[in-house]
Structure 1
């Protein structure tokens, strides 16, 4: 299913979250709660970290009642966080008066003007590290775009919080994530978000151009003797200009996330089996939690030249794409990953037991009009192909292997 496009305010909140985590300005869970509140209509919220037990780290808009662990409000929020963590899925109470699971007294929640609650589990690459609980005025505030925004916040935060908890540092985010696992996972998530944002930001650019043209026509046709109309036109013009500056900032943020500094400067000789093994290890826990079995057969010494992070991103994209296809149609979804080599070539194969979609020439995907809306599978195939070319310094074509490869390639 295609995720809803995010509005500029929510894009800005997401970029602020990434910047704060990267700059060590605040703890990831606190930053996540602030981002969730600033990007939604939530009236209050709380963040919980999971070490040996569920520990509240911060609250917003709840007053002193939430600081007492024995209060009905504190017990209710913790119970909701526990519910999300135990199911590894968002826990939602549409109306605290009707759905009272884990909440023994809803009066304190209603006192702050809330009737709907949502708990988001923060699922790291290998463990569940915490949860954010948000309170809303009513269920209407939880539309599809809001849920998509909150999912993005949770995914970014989970990676940073997982690194924290695994190193025992829960007080602050280090200025740089040490270790190959942290750097690789965080870079992949940053690039995934940037790729996902490219399309909506591009759409905003086109819509703003159309708005600017409409405003220009309005200025030419407006009666200069009508003071009220002139004032309205001026206000619309200023709003359009402010929107244009915001969109330019968003474009720059996307470019920053995709900047060449995030990859090695030059291609180097790499063992494709080693790169694949690391990428599969990062994906395994998440896929197995979805019921997808991941099988691998890796031939060591399969040497190629490329950029480590670029190739790792390609492999991760292929594995997750194959897992999604298998999960949609197979009763027992499986993904097979293999690396083989001969004197002439090195081959990475990613296959699944899902349904095979109709085949299309890869070249045809690139011939579509630029900016045209593509379905998610098509967009992902184009993205993987472009990543593969970049990972090999722009000189390696994406050619389907005869009789192998994931469906659609």
Structure 2
């Protein structure tokens, strides 16, 4: 039976479901201006005007099913259901004007008990390859029996939101409806919005089941004797420190802590590559080969050698690659209960000592307050380090009140 998006109201003739990286390379090179191949074989792509997340344009639909659960405010800004439907129709109308679309079906969560089926519908091969890397990739047999997804992401990011739609403050809108199980992107082509959309979904669903979702990296001793988790806001070193050749990598950014242990939410890594060097970060450097995506980087025109020191487009240059490309990755990405819990703080203003050992009470305080600094480029408009208090070291992605996550952490500790 031919694959179809008729249920979603999409009737484009050419729909490519889970195409290979080679197919997506060819499509990006043919149809997406500026796309090219780096000297190491990675796809170089550009996200346009937006080179970081747009947290002030994120909306959560105010629906009876979730109204009493959501931590409403500057992180989760209310959107009325009618405005969501307008934005959804706008994205679908845009997608229907495209000659070709890409669908990526994959999973969020390596633990089958908590796994979510995610479908991404997008118009850019760059976005499709990015989510091919970041979701857990189904086997051909799993894809055959994938069925209906739990959540659908409609990425119409090349088309703007209408500023006159109620609740819009710009031409960018990133909207999540838990009741409809849909996520709509308008007015931004930054691929990280899709990744963090999935994380936001898991940040709601997991605590409902007594599972702590965490903005952290995780590693395990090679003999399996201990697991460590490293919390931190984007750009504080989670990915760099987790790429430790002496330990097994579970993941670099998003995890959950269950009664059985820790599992990674993702199937790939999304590393900052500003000032990347082979000597300092060999595993990340070596992962930026065929199949990887290099985002918003500059390169030498004839050799295609990437200049990782060039920040003329953004300081938030990024590389996306599959977990399998890290030689010491542990697959499936599931580990035991952590013996070490580390908080990484970008203390740009010298408030804290370099290293501190915390009591459980101190750990709860710092987890709730989340003192750190926003690193340049990770969000639109952030040019220099800015001190901030980011609850649970992942404030922009929390859905419940921070105490919900803190109570779960206290139980685990």
Q: Which has the higher strand share?
A: 2
Higher RCO (CA-CA < 8 Å; seq separation 6+)? 2
Normalising to structure 2: TM-score of the pair? 0.23
Normalising to structure 1: TM-score of the pair? 0.24
Q: Which has the higher helix share?
A: 1
Query: Which of the two has higher C-alpha Rg?
Result: 1
